[in-house]
Structure 1
Amino acid sequence: MTPAPRVVRAGFAPVKGTRHQSYDAVRLDGSGPVGDRAWCLVDVDQRRVLRTVQHPSLVAVSAVASADGLALTLPTGAAVSGPAVPSGASLTCDYWGGPVTLDLLDGPHAAVMSSYLGRPVRLAAAPRGGVVYAGAVTIVSTGTLRALAERLGLPPDARTLDGLAARFRPTFVVESDEPHVEDSWVGGEVALGPARVRVTSRVPRCAVVDVDPVTGERGGRVLAALAAYRPRHASGELLLAVDAEVVVPGTVTVAGPG
């Protein structure tokens, strides 16, 4: 097993496609991070789950879950908060060419998001992993982010690394001086605090990494930088970071300054 790396950032998005939130700790169960993409937005007429690659403005929306329900904050500063109540209706939607059955929800969120996106949408509860494209857990190292920052001509400081991490939306950022050290973990197991994961594959990357993780605007240079030095998946997509599945559940806590 790979020696336990130090976790320096952890996060996920409670609503699929919205801003990747940072947390002090993330609880992993057998299905992955608890709360990760627990909700999604759907186009009921087309029976489709909204995805960032088609709706990049989603990443500008901040979603925060609580015991009282769900709070959404738009880039305009407008906000809505309240319970997301089961409507009693379900809908089978297309997600990357496959069916996923979602529970439609009532509450104040649909109207606000419909107005923001300029199309009628509903908030829905997703089954665990139902709207997760690849691995339940994604890991990238600080060494990888520093190497990419240098290729982009950016200072490899904490602010830059946080910004790049937000583009790749990993569950965990781990500390390493070696660029792309996580590539060598494929096929092995890694301890993350009390939890343990099995690294299954490298992650293919699409145009979403060129979407600004705060504004949702397109126009980054990340894919071009990756194309200059990173290998490609059989599909042609560039590879960065790794996917993993949970072997031993546990709560992974972000380390303090070291």
Structure 2
Amino acid sequence: MRVTELNIYPLKSARGISLPDSAVSAEGLPGDRRAMLVDPSGHFITQRELPAIATVLARHEDGGMLLSRDQHGEIVARPSGERMDVAVWKSIVSANMADAVTNDTLSAWLGREVKLAFFDNASKRIASLEWTGDETPVTFADGYQILVTTTASLAALNDNMRENGEDDVGMERFRPNIVLETDEPWAEDGW
């Protein structure tokens, strides 16, 4: 078994960034899913609902985030200091919101009214106690700090999909932080 990919997704549901190496903190890989888009009421928006988010590239820059989209240019978004309670799945999180100019630009890019929420040091979120058994911190990730996928399991999934007349899916569809090259499918179920 060996690590073949390390990725972070600074903006939830946006394009990922490949890393040569990374530290790991209690909240996962530094910089991962530290921002997300929400609707005007504060409910999170993902690719499932707005596929165009996948075309946005986000990079951390000087206390903010450099956001770009092909054919639309780029903007630097910074937390404004205005806080808003935002919802990500069953969690309500106090987030530091971007300014109106950033939100208007992103809304124009995506064709829908959105607001950019930052997870900062004042933001707190705990992973589901049902699965962790203790108060495990997590940012705007769907459930846990780090998503690990394996090559053998993806190959087995794609074999099954082909047998059922479906097209293969790529590893990027799962938005993993760590991809492990493995020989045995589903070995991770016993880890």
Q: 2:142 aligns with which of 122, 129, 133?
A: 133
| Alpha-carbon displacement from aligned partner over 1:106-155 (angstroms, at most 9, x marks no partner) | 385323210122222222211362422212111111111222233344xx
Greater than 4 Å deviation, 4+ residue runs: none
Q: Distance in 1 between matches of 2:61 and 2:80?
A: 19
Match of 2:152 in 1: 143
Cα–Cα, structure 1 residues 93 and 67, in superposed 2: closer, same or farther, change >3 Å?
A: closer
Matches within 5 A, 1:41-52: 41-44=37-40, 46-52=41-47
Matches within 5 A, 1:38-187: 38-44=34-40, 46-67=41-62, 69-74=64-69, 76-82=70-76, 84-106=77-99, 109-126=102-119, 127=123, 129-153=138-162, 164-185=170-191
**Aligned partner of residue 22 in structure 2, secondary structure:** strand
| Alpha-carbon displacement from aligned partner over 1:59-114 (angstroms, at most 9, x marks no partner) | 1222222337422232x4322132x3332210012222331111112385323210
| Alpha-carbon displacement from aligned partner over 1:146-185 (angstroms, at most 9, x marks no partner) | 22233344xxxxxxx9x62100111111111111111121
Q: Distance in 2 between matches of 1:63 and 1:86?
A: 14
**Aligned partner of residue 23 in structure 2, secondary structure:** strand
Q: CA RMSD in A?
A: 2.5
* Contact residue 80 and residue 112 of structure 1 kept, 8 A: no
Q: Number of residue pairs matched? A: 172
Q: Distance in 1 between matches of 2:3 and 2:146?
A: 13
TM-score, normalising length from structure 2?
0.78
**Aligned partner of residue 25 in structure 1, secondary structure:** coil
Structure 1 window deviating more from structure 2 (117-126 vs 29-38): it is: 117-126
Q: Distance in 2 between matches of 1:64 and 1:132?
A: 17
Match of 1:16 in 2: 12
**Aligned partner of residue 150 in structure 1, secondary structure:** helix
Q: Which has the higher contact order (CA 8 A, sep 6+)?
A: 1
**Aligned partner of residue 103 in structure 2, secondary structure:** helix
Letter in 2 for 1:165: M
Letter in 2 for 1:70: M
TM-score, normalising length from structure 1?
0.59
Cα–Cα, structure 1 residues 171 and 78, in superposed 2: closer, same or farther, change >3 Å?
A: same
Structure with greater proportional strand content: 1
Which segments of 5 or more consecutive residues in structure 2 lack a partner in the other structure?
Answer: 125-137, 163-167
Match of 1:34 in 2: 30
Match of 2:165 in 1: none
**Aligned partner of residue 32 in structure 1, secondary structure:** coil
Q: Distance in 1 between matches of 2:44 and 2:149?
A: 26
Q: Distance in 2 between matches of 1:42 and 1:169?
A: 19
